[in-house]
Amino acid sequence: MTRPHRTRVGVIGAGPAGLLLGHLLHRAGIDTVVLEARTRDYVERRQRAGILEQGTIDILRACGAGDRMDREGLRHDGIELRFDRQAHRIDFPSLTGGRGVMVYAQTEVVKDLIALRLESGAPLLFEAEAVAVEDFDTTSPRVRYRHEGDEHVLECDVVVACDGFHGIGRRSLPAHALQVFERVYPFAWLGILASVPPSCEELIYAHHERGFALHSMRSPEVSRLYLQVAPDEDVDAWSDARIWDELATRFAVDGDWELATGPITDKGITPMRSFVAEPLRHGRLFLAGDAAHIVPPTGAKGLNLAVADVALLAELLLRWFSEGDEAALDSYSRQALRRVWRAEHFSYLMTTMLHRDPGQDSFAHRLQLSQLHYTVSSTAAATTLAENYVGLPTV
């Protein structure tokens, strides 16, 4: 195999952020190399988010990556909040000027972007583990990586770390270079995939005295559901029957609605945390997506923040390559973090409004119920939720 040794932009990570950045830059004539530590099969099967906000939909369409999304994705114009055995719908278009979201799994976005990358012939190396980012404070940063048993060096003009929370990109930086903000929540999600048609047309967010539950979907034939559990929960302690019984209890409403059940094909535990590492630029090394920030999944912002990061960074890099506009690159961290912190706040509010903290007293629970009642009865409060959920314009 002929391996590239020099490129303008070296991208670490072939998740949606890295692949989309590589695609956007390649379309503009900028040479890129994308390195991914895992196999293609692993990357294409890795279960993550499934909600695309309006801005993400628009970006994928504009860059030619939205054809299958438009054919197979499920447009949603609202969500349902359930509490006190009552269901309340939040209508997005009427509150946001016609905006909505799309249910289209991250696995499918990744498959689409990989196909475009391979079709273009631009370098994409799987099982290529980046082990160090060097000289990022010079004009010639380098990525050391292992591929097929040997170590190689990729020389770059710019390195972008899209390699996730545990990736080498952020870990290559000295501790004093970063200001870290973090909150770990005292609960987790038990998530399942089930071969059963969804029991709802739109997502259901349920607040219950036993804990939070979420009903989502991946397709008209596949449901994705979640239960709030303890962070140290043993997934093997949850039989299929126990999972379905608990979901039915937490989703229960007065009326004839029933939860459809079926074979569970996948289950796993997802911890809950909020995390931001600032700044996002360090010389010629840039952080994007989960390498820079994590949000609890309650607000459906993780994938969308990653897309917003790299869409902005691609625009700024193009200005820098074509005009030498260093000020544009300097603005990346400031511009991206404004959006990041808005999403962090929204995700925090959704999480604390809907989950039961194990140490929560009755006063805190009453405050949650008050906020839920206000959200579904006030146009102003519902608009705030809807605007943030479908995605605010770039700021």
Q: Which domains does the chain have, with CATH numbers?
A: 6-75+105-182+273-350 (3.50.50.60), 185-272+359-390 (3.30.9.10)
Which of the residues 104, 145, 205, 226 is marked catalytic? 205
- Structure confidence at residue 106 (pLDDT): 92
Q: Extract the tokens encoding 350.
A: 């959704």
Catalytic-residue membership of 205 = yes
Q: For residue 31, which phi and psi values (nearest 5 degrees)?
A: -65, 135
- 181 SS3 class: strand
Contact 358, 186 (CB under 8 A): yes
Specify burial of residue 346 (Cβ count, 10 A radius: 0-12, 13-18, 19+): buried
Q: Extract the tokens encoding 232.
A: 């140290």
- Structure confidence at residue 395 (pLDDT): 45
Q: What is the distance between the alpha carbons of residues 57 and 167, in angstroms, rounded to a whole number?
A: 27
Mean pLDDT for each consecutive 10-residue tract of the chain (395 residues)? 84 97 97 97 85 95 96 96 98 96 94 97 96 96 95 97 96 95 97 96 97 95 96 96 98 95 95 96 97 95 96 97 93 97 97 94 96 98 97 71
Which of the residues 76, 208, 293, 355 is marked catalytic? 76
- Closest-CA residue to 82 (of 197, 199, 215, 194): 215
Catalytic-residue membership of 104 = no
Specify burial of residue 67 (Cβ count, 10 A radius: 0-12, 13-18, 19+): exposed
- Structure confidence at residue 28 (pLDDT): 97
Contact 187, 210 (CB under 8 A): no
Q: What is the distance between the alpha carbons of residues 289 and 162, in angstroms, rounded to a whole number?
A: 6
Catalytic-residue membership of 389 = yes
Which of the residues 16, 123, 141, 297 is marked catalytic? 297
Contact 220, 199 (CB under 8 A): no
